[in-house]
Amino acid sequence: MSAHALDKDLDAVAVSARAELVRVIGLSGAWDADPGWRAVFAAVPRHLFVPYYYVGVPDGDGRGHERLWRGSADPAARERWLRGVYADVPLATRLRDGELVSSSSQPSLMARMLAELRVTDGDRVLEIGAGTGYNAALLAHRLGDDLVTTVDLEPEITDSARTHLADAGYRPAVVTGDGTRGVPAHGPYDRIVATCALTTVPRAWIAQCRPGARVLAPLATGLIALTVRDGAHAEGTFLDTAAYFVPLRGTEPTAPSEIPHRPGDPELLRFLLTLTHGTLAPQDARELWEREGRPGRERYGVTVAGERVWAWLDDPEEPYTWPLR
């Protein structure tokens, strides 16, 4: 079989695999809040953004990885790479000393986040964490290149994302810089979405938003959705879904795995332990969670007011509030 014919065969696999991914995402209910994203996921080719990724393999210390990539000389390996790209799973795209530093998020979670962003035509969006560029491509397809900015700290990541975007026909602004500072030159923004885990909400993001803007970000294994009142104030509650992301580069957040959990702790208790780490003793957090009826994520919120940023349960003022650091 010629290389050209093989490429055509892989193109057919990509089309069918992408259609199946769209079907799976739809069944998950991820974009129920905004069905307009279905056509976007059907149109944007994820495989152009993930030319290679790593999968775990058994070894002595449990940290072995195999790289799957589109340039493999083995046709079966190339097809395995391609089908993996369109599975509804996160893909490890960059490793450093065996540790994950960048990934392409699970597509159904990306779809849920984009739907919950509640964009409308003409919205200007800032994405924190460029990753592979795939999420920025989805935003650019929906809104247009000139309304989308994505920022990442590492030039290697932004250079790669820029190349992937161009290969797919998209040219949003790709900025190399500290995501905690936002990108004031391209604002003000109607929406900000982060694709990396935080321990607090950077006040610079709120300052770069228009009144009424929406900020969606991973925090403490959850997703906080804030509505901006003005350049110094924002408030909102968590979505009910779990979310695990690579930490925001340029910061040193505490990973959920470092929080003192007990074997068998319910996932929602682990969320509270992570959210209150450093401000509430683990045993106190457990007692609170049981006393308050084992609350789900949607009962928690975050408030930004000038220099103060805090999390809370049920009410932003009392009785249960914790500063975010």
Which residues have a catalytic role annotated? Answer: 102
Beta carbons of 228 and 212 less than 8 angstroms apart: yes
Q: What is the DSSP string of 194-236?
A: E-SBBSS--HHHHHTEEEEEEEEEEETTEEEEEEEEETTEEEE
Please state, in angstroms and as integers, the Cα–Cα distance from residue 315 to each residue in 104, 164, 263, 299, following that order.
35, 44, 30, 9
> Bridge partners of 198?
219
Does residue 196 contact residue 246 with C-beta atoms inside 8 Å? yes
Residue 182, CA atoms < 13 Å, CB-side half-sphere: 21
Q: How far apart are CA 104 and CA 112, in angstroms?
A: 15
CA distances from 136 to 44, 46, 130, 176 (A): 11, 11, 7, 14
Q: 3-state DSSP call for residue 48?
A: helix
Return the number of other C-beta atoms located less than 10 Å from residue 279's C-beta: 15
DSSP bridge partners of 102: 94
